[in-house]
Amino acid sequence: MTETALDRRADGPADRPADGGAREARDARDARGARDAAGAGRALAWLLVVAGALGLLASFQITVDKVRLAENPGFRPACSLNAVVSCTNVMLSDQASVFGFPNPLIGLVAYAVVVALGVVLLTGARLPRWCWLGLNLGTLAGAVFCMWLMSQALYVIGALCLWCCLAWAVTIALFWYTTAHNLRHRFLPAPCGLVLGVLEFHWAVPAAWYGVIALLVVQRFWAPW
User: Could you report the per-residue pLDDT of 174-224, keeping only the tens digit for each?
Assistant: 999 999 999 999 999 999 999 999 999 999 999 999 999 999 999 999 876
**How confident is the model at residue 8, as a pLDDT?**
42
**How confident is the model at residue 100, as a pLDDT?**
95
Total-model pTM? 0.84
Q: What is the mean pLDDT of residues 137-143?
A: 99
Q: pLDDT tier at 18 (50, 70, 90 boundaries)? A: very low
Please give the angle made by the CA atoms of 147, 39 and 197, to the nearest 5 degrees. Answer: 55
Contact 49, 174 (CB under 8 A): no
Domains in the chain (CATH in brackets) are 39-221 (1.20.1440.130)
Contact 162, 90 (CB under 8 A): no
Residue 5 confidence (pLDDT) above 70? no
Which DSSP helix (H) or strand (E) runs through 37?
strand 37-38
Q: What region, left, alpha or beta, does residue 16 occupy, with left being phi > 0 and alpha being psi -120 to 50 degrees? A: beta
Residue 168 confidence (pLDDT) above 70? yes
Question: What is the residue-averaged pLDDT of the chain?
Answer: 89
63-73 per-position pLDDT tens digit:
999 999 999 99
Q: What percent of the chain has pLDDT above 90?
A: 83
